[in-house]
Amino acid sequence: MSTPVLEARGVTRVLPGPVPVTLVRDVNLTIEQGEFVSIVGPSGSGKSSLLYLLGLLDVPSEGDLYLQGRETSTLDDHELAHLRLEKLGFVFQFHFLLPEFDALTNIMVPMRRLGKMGHRAMRDHARALLADFGLEEAADKRPGQLSGGMRQRVAVARALANDPLVILADEPTGNLDQKSGRNVFDIFENLVDTKGTTVIAVTHDQHLAALTQRRITIVDGVIDTDHTVNDGSARSDEPQRPRREI
């Protein structure tokens, strides 16, 4: 059996304070290479909190997180930053492109930080990514000169700059119209199908969630259901919590 790309074992995240707030509680989750996963649930249910834990942007208060079988709780900030840069790509609701740089340079930023390519190789790779997304003519344009959909496609291209194992997307279509949002999810689906990239996307849009292979529903910080939706069957680890009476 292959090693999961990501695995959470008994993961809980509590914000300390006079009244502690539990964001995620006792999550057990395994995600394999090449899965396209959506995380859905009510507002404030812990969707983004779980994504940030899986993406090593936050650390659990209890439990363990594994990336390719490597336990991450003992890593220091520098090691976690390098692991994120090398293995993970992030897309958020806002594109976070650097406004002073053109699209090509924005895509090169993660490559420069990782430091594994020369300048010419980085430019060639960035141009190839722009071409993959039909953005060749946007190479020398700054974010302010691009449409919302184009900016988000550049952001996805930037997330792919270091050929990550996993793309983690937090409401990546939240600022887009329906057509542009569907285009972003089509891009994710193509990455899964052609490159075997794992994609985990938080979304409030049930129509887009239905495009994914697997849908995880979070309620009150706990996994409520975990369905494989491409054939309509539920995974054997579903549910993790008792169903509520309506």
Q: Look up residue 162 and give its DSSP letter.
A: T
Per residue in 14-33, pLDDT (tens digit) is 999 899 999 999 999 999 99
C-alpha dist (Å) from residue 40 to 65, 75, 119, 131:
21, 29, 40, 31
Among 12, 1, 30, 22, which Cα is nearest to 238's?
A: 30
The domain locations on the chain are 33-52+76-234
pTM (2 d.p.): 0.87
Tokens of 43: 């507002």
Q: Assess contact for 197 and 213: CB atoms under 8 A.
A: no
Per-residue model confidence (pLDDT) at position 174: 81
Task: Please give the CATH superfamily to which domain 33-52+76-234 belongs.
Answer: P-loop containing nucleotide triphosphate hydrolases (3.40.50.300)
Residue 242: partners with Cβ closer than 8 Å, 6 or more residues away:
none
In this prediction, residue 237 has a pLDDT band, given cuts at 50, 70 and 90, of very low
Tokens of 145: 């000169």
Per residue in 120-170, pLDDT (tens digit) is 999 999 999 999 888 999 999 999 999 988 998 899 999 999 999 999 999
80/71 Cα distance (integer angstroms): 11
